[in-house]
Amino acid sequence: MRIRIAHSPDSDDAFMFYALTAGKIDTEGLQIEHVLADIETLNREALKGTYEVSAISFHAYPYVAHRYLVLPSGGSVGEGYGPIVVAKEDLEDLKGKRVAIPGRLTTAYLVLKLYELDFEEVLFPFDKVLDAVVDGIVDAGLVIHEGQLSYQDRGLKKVVDLGQWWMEKTNLVLPLGGNIIRKDLGVEIIRKMERLMRRSIEYALQHREEALSFAREYARDIKEDTERTNRFVSMYVNHRTLDYGEDGRRAVRLLLQMGIEGNIIEANMPEVIFSDEVKD
């Protein structure tokens, strides 16, 4: 059976999926095909149920919960850090400012709206947000992926780290994205993919240099900086990626609930989110 796994072409996803990409683990009879696209594209494709397994922003999950479950492994979670808003000059606040965003379904956008509701959003591809700020097209930019570590190279200043803000507000980690699986695959295939995802992450963590060497090719503007690539991967592929933990799962529900109550998410809270919560 062919299973398409759609994920972002960035270093943390490359690291996470290395073992599956390179044939390092037994796929239990499944034929794995990788599809690479930016996260906002993947969010939109998930709305259509395009891929069997896909990375997704948690902001987008309530809109596809009727069709997908979240796998218990594969999450990107910020422990006191997360997407960053940057600007050319010091800004006291973002009220009324023009802010470049990498997508309206990204979790970064959801948390930014929870932080400050009143700003003018300007949509850019995630890898053009820093350019928009440097060129003065916008007052500030919402930065995800490796740009969180490279924005200072462009002479930009941090306005707020949304992961830090979230931790101070809730005392919880910030769940940014996860990997979802289509319900119509059935319990047997879902259980296989739960095992494969965990084994792939375990392999990368146990063979770090091997997996990092592969992941560096996807590190974009920090690919020549081995230390920063390692740091970025460590931020988003760690013990939380193997399992969200009870507090991580609680953080997912709180984030979605706050988005719904704030009328940012126009969908209902899913009753069941994680695939391992479904009985065989």
| Interval 53-75: pLDDT, tens | 999 999 999 999 999 999 999 99
Q: How far is CA 241 from the centre of its chain?
A: 11
% of the chain exceeding 90 in pLDDT: 83
What is the mean predicted confidence (pLDDT) over 100-128? 96
pTM over 0.95, yes/no: no
**Where do you find CATH 3.40.190.10 in the chain?**
2-77+174-277, 84-170
Give the residue numbers annotated as catalytic, written as ranges. Answer: 145
CATH architecture observed for domain 84-170: 3-Layer(aba) Sandwich (3.40)
pLDDT given at position 231:
86
Burial of residue 44 (number of CB atoms within 10 Å: 0-12, 13-18, 19+)? middle
Q: What is the pLDDT of residues 135-168, one digit of tens each?
A: 999 999 999 987 888 899 999 999 999 999 999 9
What is the mean predicted confidence (pLDDT) over 189-195? 98
Contact residues for 36 (Cβ-Cβ < 8 A; gap 6+): 6, 7, 8, 9
pLDDT band at 193 (very low <50, low <70, confident <90, very high): very high
Q: List, as one string, the DSSP characters of 57-105.
A: EGGGHHHHTTTEEE-SS--EEESS---EEEESS--S--TT-EEEES-TT
**Strands laid side by side in the 140-143 sheet:** 120-123, 98-101, 140-143, 84-87, 157-161
Cα dihedral 238, 242, 246, 251 in deg (nearest 10): 60
Q: What is the CATH number of domain 2-77+174-277?
A: 3.40.190.10
